Chain A
Amino acid sequence: MYALPPGSVPAIVRIVELHFDVLVVGGGIAGCAAALAASAAGRRVGLVRAAPGATALSAGGWTGPLPDRLGAALARAGLPFAPAPAPLPHPAGRLDAHDLAAPSQRAAAPIEDALVCGIVGLAGFPARALARAWGARGAGPAGAATLEAGPVPRGGWSPASLAAYLEREPARLAEALADAVRRASAARAVLPAVLGVERVDDVRAALEAAAGVPVGEALGAPPSLPGWRLERALATALDEAGVTVLPGRVVDRAMEARRVSAVWVRPAPASGAAAEAVAGPPPVESVQIAARSFVLATGKYLAGGIRADDRLLEPALGCPVWIEYLGAMFDEADPLALTHPDHAAEQPLLRAGVRTDDAGRPVDRRGDVVYENVRVAGSVRAGVDAAAPGLGHAAADGWRAGELAAEDA
Chain B
Amino acid sequence: MLRRLRMSVRRKVMLLVLGTTVSALALSAMGLVIYDLRAYERQWTQDLYLQAEILARASAPALSFNDRKAATNDLSLIRVRPNVLSAALYTNDGERFATYVKAGEKAPQFPSAPGADGYRIEGNELDMFHRVVEAGEPLGTVYIRARYLPWDRVLDYLAILGLVMVASLALAGALSGWLQAGVTAPILEVARVAREVMQRRDYSLRAKKSSDDEIGQLVDAFNGMLAEAGRRAEALREADRRKDEFLATLAHELRNPLAPLRNALEILRSARVDPEMSRKALEMMERQLNQMVRLVDDLLDVSRITTGKLAVRKAVVDLRDAIHDSVETVRPFIEARRHALDLELPEGRIAVNGDQTRLAQVFANLLHNAAKYTEPGGRITLSVAVEAGNAVVRVRDTGIGLDQGAIGAIFDMFVQVDRSLTRAQAGLGVGLTLARRLVALHDGTITAFSAGAGKGSEFVVRLPLAEAPRQSEAPARPAPTGDPNARRILLADDNVDFANSLGQMLASRGHEVHIAYDGAEALAEADRFTPEIAFLDIGMPKVHGYEVARRLREKLTTSECLLVAVTGWGQEDDRRRAWEAGFDRHLVKPVDARDIEAIIKEL
| A interacts with B | no
Residues of chain B at the chain A interface (Cβ within 8 Å) = none
Residues of chain A at the chain B interface (Cβ within 8 Å) = none
